[in-house]
Amino acid sequence: GECVEGEVRVCFTGTGGAKCDVTVTGQAGSFEEGYITKGTERVNYVGKLIYAGIVADAKNYECNVKRLMMRTGTLANIYLKESQYLSTKGCNTGMEMELSRLSNTITNSYESSIDLITKIKPVVKGIEQNNVCRIW
């Protein structure tokens, strides 16, 4: 249908042209990750963060993603300790290195939402693949 005047028009790559208030651009042929442009502001997203990226202004989005990353770092440390404990009980999770890497990446080099794609997602994929003993 047609947009009512004053409504925000959200377009996905290749669907809207110049009349878009918000443009979502996926990467690698899907919208699992990518970036969202609103005027001159651009934020990056992975997964369900697409919704927050569409509705929030860039400053609030970046602030909240950073907050989520700090929480993720805390959880990575908790899971690292649990993984180390399980190793003493005969279940080597094989995740210590990746969990430590995730925590260190967040603590030492997370700066903005682009890091979700370039730094965080690859580490998380490694953790998901190595989660043998299911610590979560």
pLDDT tens for 103-131 read 999 998 889 999 998 999 988 888 887 76
Structural domain that includes position 106? 10-130
Structural element, H or E, at residue 77: helix 58-88
Structure tokens at 42: 């651009």
What does the pLDDT look like over 23-47, one tens digit per residue?
999 987 889 999 999 989 999 999 9
> Residue 3 domain-assigned?
no
CA dihedral angle for residue 124, residue 111, residue 78, residue 52, rounded to 10 degrees: -70
Structure tokens at 95: 């995740």
> Residue 16 domain-assigned?
yes
> Residue 91 domain-assigned?
yes
> Residue 81 domain-assigned?
yes
Domain count, the chain: 1
> Residue 135 domain-assigned?
no
Structure tokens at 35: 């970036």
Mean pLDDT on 52-77: 94
Strand order in 41-46's β-sheet? Answer: 10-12, 22-27, 30-38, 41-46
Instruction: Count how many residues are written for the chain.
Output: 136
How far from 22 is each of 27, 34, 53, 57, 85, CA to CA, in Å?
Answer: 16, 13, 10, 11, 47
> Residue 4 domain-assigned?
no
CA distance 88 to 3: 61
Contact 117, 46 (CB under 8 A): yes
Please report the pLDDT score of residue 16 as a whole number.
56
Global confidence as pTM: 0.81
